[in-house]
């Protein structure tokens, strides 16, 4: 069954705006016209797509299926438009990268160089959770994803972007700030400011405390790395954070890092892409820039020969 493109576009607008009224404003049409378009789409499909029984707009099971398909179609249309633009003018294009709050920091030096080299390419860094990255990549919502662990899924290609470690950080006035090395037992009485997002590194910290039979007191949980940093700076607790996220604070003395003997956790950051999917010219250019940057970094890190 073929559906007119405009009907799916209307449906996407209603779902994304969560309102018939706002969808009408976005598309420059009247609300009755939007309502009629949705009704026509439902009639053509023989399925109710929107549950109208509640106060808030909700999708039926069929509506969720249509939304996913419509979103993929929109991405394909965008890809077609982008590639045609690139054929007409190699200087244009669009690059979308998915990354969470802390992952963005690993990208910044590369993004600055990319933007300086390709100033006409539209550069979008989409804030996304690592757990969402596989679906975003497969749907075509992002060209690359930056994550701190691999999925083990053969559909994806991975490249090590950065090797970091988790830092135990405290405020300069904290009672442990002058210590050169800590053991987990030294942290039994401390309050930890934890990230309330699950990750392999959060699990590793919890497991290490369990193995030492030490209670991990996470009485403070925060939604962002920035809020965790601020709480620790205020002296309200201790935290384990990626080194790159606190690098500036450590160099300026706002925070202090203390190694923990049982928690020398290396943290590899990966750049993910979909295997066997053709990249746009903008994405290929970013991939090549990354290859050169990482090669230079590798050469600089090699020990000198006597």
C-alpha distance across the termini of the chain, in Å: 72
Q: What is the pTM of this model?
A: 0.61
| Fold (topology level) of 5-76 | Arc Repressor Mutant, subunit A (1.10.10)
Name the residue ranges covered by the structural domains of the chain: 5-76, 80-161+269-298, 163-267
Q: Say what the pLDDT of residue 104 is.
A: 87
User: Is residue 55 very low, low, confident or very high in pLDDT (cuts 50, 70, 90)?
Assistant: confident
Query: Which pair of tokens denotes residue 71?
Result: 């979103």
User: Is 163-267 in the same CATH topology as 5-76?
Assistant: no
Percent of the chain with pLDDT over 90: 57
pLDDT value for 136: 94
Which tokens is 80 given? 């077609």
Q: Which pLDDT band holds residue 91 (cuts at 50, 70, 90)? A: low
For 80-161+269-298, CATH number?
Answer: 3.40.190.10
Judge whether 165 and 257 are in contact, CB under 8 Å: no
Name the strand (E) or helix (H) holding 201.
helix 200-211
Distance CA 26, CA 24 (A): 5
Residue 87 has pLDDT above 80, yes or no: no
- In CATH, the architecture of 163-267 is 3-Layer(aba) Sandwich (3.40)
Paired tokens of 235: 């002296």
């Amino acid at each position: 069954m073929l559906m007119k493109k405009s009907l799916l576009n209307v449906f996407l607008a209603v779902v994304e705006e969560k309102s018939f009224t706002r969808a009408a404003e976005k598309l420059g049409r009247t609300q009755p016209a939007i309502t009629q378009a949705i009704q026509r789409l439902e009639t053509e499909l023989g399925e109710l797509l929107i549950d109208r029984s509640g106060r808030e707009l909700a999708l039926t099971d069929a509506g969720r299926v249509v939304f996913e398909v419509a979103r993929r179609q929109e991405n394909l249309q965008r890809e077609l438009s982008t590639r045609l633009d690139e054929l007409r003018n190699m200087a244009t294009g669009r690059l979308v990268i998915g990354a969470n709050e802390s992952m963005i920091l690993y990208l910044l030096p590369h993004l600055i160089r990319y933007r300086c080299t390709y100033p006409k390419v539209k550069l979008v860094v989409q804030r996304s959770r690592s757990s969402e990255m596989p679906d975003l990549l497969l749907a075509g919502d992002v060209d690359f994803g930056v994550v701190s662990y691999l999925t083990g899924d053969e559909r994806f290609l991975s490249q090590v972007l950065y090797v970091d470690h988790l830092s135990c950080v405290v405020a300069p006035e904290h009672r442990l700030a002058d210590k050169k090395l800590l053991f987990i037992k030294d942290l039994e009485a401390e309050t930890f400011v934890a990230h309330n997002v699950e990750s392999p590194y959060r699990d590793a910290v919890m497991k290490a405390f369990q193995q030492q039979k030490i209670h991990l007191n996470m009485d403070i949980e925060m939604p962002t790395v920035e809020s965790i940093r601020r709480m620790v700076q205020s002296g309200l607790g201790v935290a384990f954070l990626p080194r790159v996220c606190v690098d500036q604070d450590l160099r300026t003395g706002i925070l202090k890092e203390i190694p923990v003997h049982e928690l020398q956790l290396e943290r590899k950051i990966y750049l993910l892409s979909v295997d066997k999917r053709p990249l746009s010219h903008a994405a290929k250019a970013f991939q090549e820039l990354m290859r050169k940057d990482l090669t230079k970094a590798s050469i600089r890190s090699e020990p000198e020969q006597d």
